[in-house]
Amino acid sequence: DVKVTQSSRYLVKRTGEKVFLECVQDMDHENMFWYRQDPGLGLRLIYFSYDVKMKEKGDIPEGYSVSREKKERFSLILESASTNQTSMYLCASRPDGGELDNEQFFGPGTRLTVL
Amino acid sequence: AQKVTQAQTEISVVEKEDVTLDCVYETRDTTYYLFWYKQPPSGELVFLIRRNSFDEQNEISGRYSWNFQKSTSSFNFTITASQVVDSAVYFCALSDSNTGGFKTIFGAGTRLFVKA
């Protein structure tokens, strides 16, 4: 049974804190993604990675960074959390590279609240 | 630019009713893929279907069916005889060669409530 897991389902942090969101997949997928989901906006891509140590900015990378030291793990980092980063964060993985037709496999999401 | 529009924010139906979720997309590419995902209350998006731009055949899978029409840039999803377990947020999505296939553009989602 293929799986994408995220380190926390719920997280509460204070403004200015450094926040780490971890994602692990067990499918040996090359591609991994971080999205944030907000009401009325759908899913917006923050960063993606197509290989170990490789990363590309998505549509809303400001205030975020990522790390991919191992193929199965993709971390999202909020260097200094702000209240406008309160959101649901979804991690996904996808097999192969650059192909259009592969679906993504999603984790259960982390609901982050920044106070 | 690529865009996916799901104009219906929320839909509420009574069990056993049929319901159609609309999806309209924009792309300048001739090669692209369209997807539908389901997000149940547990939060994890689940893949339902993919369709490529060269295949306009409609598809049926049990109570689910999809109508792809390039002429209107639409990829609508119909649930026949809805059930309470169909209650979820449904996302339509697009990927095309302009984004190298890495970026999938998601619509805002349609929240479906099916009441018993």
Residues of A with CB under 8 A from a CB of B: 9, 31, 35, 40-45, 48, 50, 56, 58-59, 88, 90, 92, 98-101, 103-109
What pLDDT is attached to residue B100?
A: 63
Judged by CB atoms within 8 Å, which residues 36-95 of B form the interface with A? 37, 42-47, 50, 52, 91, 95
Res. B113 pLDDT band, cuts 50 70 90: very high
Model confidence pLDDT, tens digit, residues B58-89: 888 999 999 999 999 999 999 999 999 999 99
Considering only CB atoms, B43 lies closest to which of A40, A45, A109, namely: A109
Across the interface, whether the CB atoms of A90 and B45 are under 8 A apart is answered yes
Model confidence pLDDT, tens digit, residues A3-47: 999 999 999 999 999 999 999 999 999 999 999 999 989 999 999
Burial A30-64 (b: 16+ CB within 10 A, else e): bbbbbbbbeeeebbbbbbbbbeeeebeebeeeeeb
